[in-house]
Amino acid sequence: MSNHVYRLTEVVGSSSTSVDDAIRTAVRKAAQTVRNIEWFEAQEVRGQVVDGNVAYFQVRVKIGFRVED
């Protein structure tokens, strides 16, 4: 087994449905332009409230991707 080196990037995903969906949206979108994504870490959850109800969830996500040899 070889040693791996990773880089980190941060993205913010949003969803009107759930925190889970916001994370999945962030990872899915990042995977369109970043190769070798292997893990994520949810950093911060926030949202928008409209008329006393949660309208949007936002999640700041660190994404780890393996640097190619």
* Inter-residue contact 13 to 24 (CB < 8 Å): yes
What confidence score (pLDDT) does residue 18 get?
A: 97
Return d(Cα 40, Cα 25) in angstroms, integer.
12
Give the pLDDT confidence of 4-62 residue by residue, as tens digits: 899 999 999 999 999 999 999 999 999 999 999 999 999 999 999 999 999 999 999 99
Residue 1 — pLDDT band, cuts 50, 70, 90? Answer: very low
What confidence score (pLDDT) does residue 43 get?
A: 94
Q: Which residues contact 3 (CB under 8 A, 6 or more apart)?
A: none
CB count within 10 Å of CB 14 equals: 15
Cα R_g (the chain), whole angstroms: 14
Entry pTM: 0.86
Domain ranges of the chain: 6-66
CATH class of 6-66: alpha beta
